[in-house]
Copies of this chain bind each other. A is one copy, B any other.
Amino acid sequence: MKAVILAAGLGTRMGTLTEEKPKGLIKIAGREILYRTMKILEKEGIEEFIIVTNPKYKEELKEFLEKNKFKYMLVVNPCPERGNGYSLYLAREHVSEKFVLVMSDHVYEEKFIKEALKGRGAIVDKEGKFINKEEATKVKINENRVVNIGKKLKKYDAVDTGLFILEPQIFKTIEEISKEKESFELVEIIKRAKPKVTEVSGFFWMDIDTPQDIKKARKLLITKAVKNRGEGIISRHINRKISTKISEALVDYVEPMHMTVFSFLVGVLAGIVALFTPPIAGIFYQLNSILDGVDGEIARAAMKKSRFGGYFDSILDRYVDFFVLLGLAIYMKPGIWMWGIISLALFGSFMVSYSTERYKGEYFTDIYKSIPQMKYLLGKRDERVFLTMIFSLVNQLRLLFMLLAVITHVRVFVTIYFVWRRQKT
């Protein structure tokens, strides 16, 4: 299947931004709108993109498409003022089968596009959770077909998502309209063609019209990028609240790997400080735990996720845990039996990660996915770090290590029990 992308429109309300560049090339959370849509479509099997643009944006778009190695065909609409209906008309020679039609100024989350591609006709959203309905293009539906479409509809059933799955027959309707008038919009085509309707509701998508929209979309993309599975209480209620704010502020400027390394350095600092001042080390350690979420959030929101990133980050986390706990231990100048307990706590902290990760290596699925009860088990990293901070602040390090030694190994035993029980059923 091919996709036709309409990118000939001239931005009007974006201020200085779109004087210079096509809307599709505006970066939101570190990636161009078009990059997002096209990468997702590519992943879902779209083989070629027909992009209709205007003479002014041609070079810039071409550069973008080459850089990202998309398979594309650039169609220039010499008169963008003749409307986006006319832009679609120009794409007709390049489409001979069912195709996707998508706007260049809409941001979609992956799940939305995945669902939409299963449908046909106009993809509409009955909830429109994330958009400004006043500005939206509304759709009136009857017998599962579009009967009216427009921004000003008083009575409507859903909103247009800017994504369509169309058959080449649509070009007959366009041909008709083009004989009647010089300029025409897509909504006019849809109004006359009355295509079928597929509802895909509740997912994140929005059209980008104003600088406020960019900000809103960035925030939502970061929120959607928060890893939900395998997070402890502290992460859900404290860390993620702060880390998403940091991610929002940094996503446009910082690469995930930079944050991984920065967060590690904060952790190393915590380990060094622990040798002298446990309370401050505790705070740095907790800061490391918060920052530890940022690299992943940025990576997912900016579609910059890499396996090496995930792998490297996990290993660095283990090193930070080791440095901080060892630093605190050395500060305590413990006797031999206390060293035994410290070792148990250190070892237990690793075994929590090991028993979780080893599961994935054996069963090729996330342990939190196949054994949902796991999420209620205490002892995840965010919880251990927070506990370490609290006990460091009140200078109760002996108690801390005893507690860690117990919590972590109990968690490992229960994990083994869960895995064993799952095996049996």
Contacts and interface: CB of A to CB of B under 8 A. Distances in A.
Interface string A18-38: 000000000000000000000
A308 B357 contact: no
A359 B318 contact: no
Contacts of A350: 347, 350-351, 354
B351 A315 contact: yes
Q: Which of A314, A322, A347, A355 has the most CB of B within 10 A?
A: A347
Contacts of A353: 354
Interface in A262-316: 306-308, 310-312, 314-315
B326 A340 contact: yes
State the oligomeric state as a number of copies.
Answer: 2
Nearest to A306: B423
Contact of A312 (B346, B361, B420): B420
A358 interface: yes
Contacts of A363: 307, 311
Contacts of A364: 364
A306 B343 CA distance: 31
Contacts of A361: 357-361
A347 B354 CA distance: 12
A336 interface: yes
Contacts of A310: 362
A360 B359 contact: no
| Interchain residue pairs A-B with the least CB separation, the first 3 | A360-B361, A308-B423, A311-B362
16 contacts: A308-B423, A311-B363, A311-B416, A312-B416, A314-B358, A315-B358, A322-B347, A329-B339, A343-B343, A343-B346, A350-B351, A350-B354, A357-B361, A358-B361, A360-B360, A360-B361
